[in-house]
Amino acid sequence: MPFTPVHMGPGLMFKALMRSSFSLMIFGWTQIVMDIQPLIVMISGEGHLHGFSHTFVGATLLAIVAALTGKYLAQLGLWMFRMRPLITVPIAWWVVFLSAFIGSYSHVLLDAVMHGDVQPFFPITLDNPFLRWISVSALHKVCLYSGLVGAGIYYAMNWKKPETDWR
């Protein structure tokens, strides 16, 4: 994906389908963590653009980092947004880790479809079996439409009975 926000489309769909069993904030934080290494490469001009962070091994490690840091960042953000005591917006650890792992693995998969330099199964193989499964244009449409459908489902399910869980 050219920009981290494009990854949020599938995240909205996961949130709509999984509801309080999924944290969109943790998912989003994981997208940012995943793209720190490519950002450093773009700024410095040195290194492999989609390097270790865009392998499933790297994604596993980054999911753990994103989960451990994101839980408290998300709770702080929810507290600030709601203006209520921090104790009222806990995010369960299992939700945090599930959301971070879905975020990191989906990030690798989506980028592997689009970018030829992604080596998702490194160090086992340097091949990218996901490359060009679908066209880049179709990939962008899948991300956009999944976000629109996810937002629609989420809104429709909360229309009569609002969900109090914004995680």
Q: What is the pLDDT of residues 71-115, one digit of tens each?
A: 988 888 877 777 555 455 678 999 999 999 999 999 999 999 999
**pLDDT score recorded for residue 5:** 79
Q: Are 112 and 54 in contact (CB under 8 A)?
A: yes
Parse the chain into domains and list their residue ranges: 4-159
Contact predicate 117/44, CB 8 Å: no
Mean pLDDT, residues 119-129: 95
Question: In whole angstroms, how far apart are CA 52 and each of 6, 37, 48, 116?
Answer: 21, 8, 8, 14
- Whole-number average pLDDT of the chain: 88
Q: Count CB atoms within 10 A of the CB of residue 160.
A: 6
Look at residue 166 and tell me whether its pLDDT is greater than 80. no
